[in-house]
């Protein structure tokens, strides 16, 4: 059984809740186990134990990293993530912050890539209403985009579809 490390930072609990939903989704498919790490409690160095990782971040303070990511971000620079495959998800508020929607998703993605990781889990921009986001590359969000303010009803279905995508992109279908 493949083990995936899911590292998240969450100020008011929304990203934490999504982390648990993703964990449950993988259990349902019995393709992998997902171990959760709240980065307020664990050092980022724990990422080194996993070949496949999921990172979750919300955007705060108009285009900034969530506070626990902000506090630990420098730890990335000591990590060699070469050979790791990383998928990311982000939470934001497209109605309240249409010019900085999910910006922090890009900051974490960019840093993970700089440290040598290969990124998977890009997500279509269709179905969202916003003006600007750093998190778009080549016409897609760099990870799963979730909005518990404007579109809470879509979250469960988006997670289910994204986890299906990850089964392929993490190459787990050959490891049932």
Ligand X SMILES: Cc1cc2nc3c(=O)[nH]c(=O)nc-3n(C[C@H](O)[C@H](O)[C@H](O)COP(=O)(O)O)c2cc1C
Shortest distance in whole angstroms from residue 114 CB to ligand X: 22
Shortest distance in whole angstroms from residue 121 CB to ligand X: 18
Cβ atoms of 83 and 49 closer than 8 Å = no
Shortest distance in whole angstroms from residue 133 CB to ligand X: 8
Task: CB nearer to ligand X: give 22 or 102.
Answer: 102
* Residue 121 to residues 13, 35, 52, 167, 169, Cα–Cα distance (Å): 22, 18, 12, 10, 7
Per CB under 6 A, does 165 bind ligand X? no
Shortest distance in whole angstroms from residue 126 CB to ligand X: 17
Q: Tell which positions 51-70 bind ligand X, by CB under 6 A.
A: 58-63, 66
Per CB under 6 A, does 102 bind ligand X? yes
Task: CB nearer to ligand X: give 26 or 69.
Answer: 69
Binding mask 125-154 for ligand X (x = CB under 6 A): -----------------------x------
Task: CB nearer to ligand X: give 32 or 136.
Answer: 136
Which of the ranges 19-27, 45-53, 87-95, 114-122 carries the binding residues for ligand X, by CB under 6 A?
87-95
Shortest distance in whole angstroms from residue 124 CB to ligand X: 17
Q: Which residue is nearest to ligand X (CB)?
A: 92
Per CB under 6 A, does 25 bind ligand X? no
Q: Which string of DSSP letters, residue by residue, matches the chain?
A: -EEEEEEE--SSSHHHHHHHHHHHHHHHHTSEEEEEEETTTS-GGGGGG-SEEEEEEEEETTTEE-HHHHHHGGGGGG---TT-EEEEEEE--TTT-TTSTTHHHHHHHHHHHHTTPEEE--EE-TT---S--TTEETTEESSEEE-TTT-GGGHHHHHHHHHHHHHHHTT-TT--
């Amino acid at each position: 059984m493949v083990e995936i490390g899911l590292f998240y930072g969450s100020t008011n609990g929304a990203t934490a809740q999504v982390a648990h939903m993703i964990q449950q989704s993988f259990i349902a498919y019995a393709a992998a186990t997902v171990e959760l790490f709240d980065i307020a409690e664990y050092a980022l160095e724990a990422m080194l134990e996993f070949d496949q990782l999921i990172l979750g971040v919300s955007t705060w303070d108009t285009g900034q990293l969530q506070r626990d990511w902000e506090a630990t971000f420098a730890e990335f620079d000591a990590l060699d993530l070469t050979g790791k495959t990383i998928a990311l998800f982000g939470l934001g508020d497209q109605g309240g912050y249409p010019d900085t929607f999910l910006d922090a998703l890009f900051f974490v993605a960019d840093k993970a890539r700089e440290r040598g990781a290969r990124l998977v889990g890009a997500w279509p921009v269709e179905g969202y209403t916003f003006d600007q986001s750093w998190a778009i590359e080549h016409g897609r969000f760099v990870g799963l985009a979730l909005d518990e303010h404007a579109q809470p009803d879509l979250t469960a279905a988006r997670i289910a579809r994204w986890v299906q995508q990850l089964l392929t992109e993490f190459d787990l279908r050959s490891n049932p």
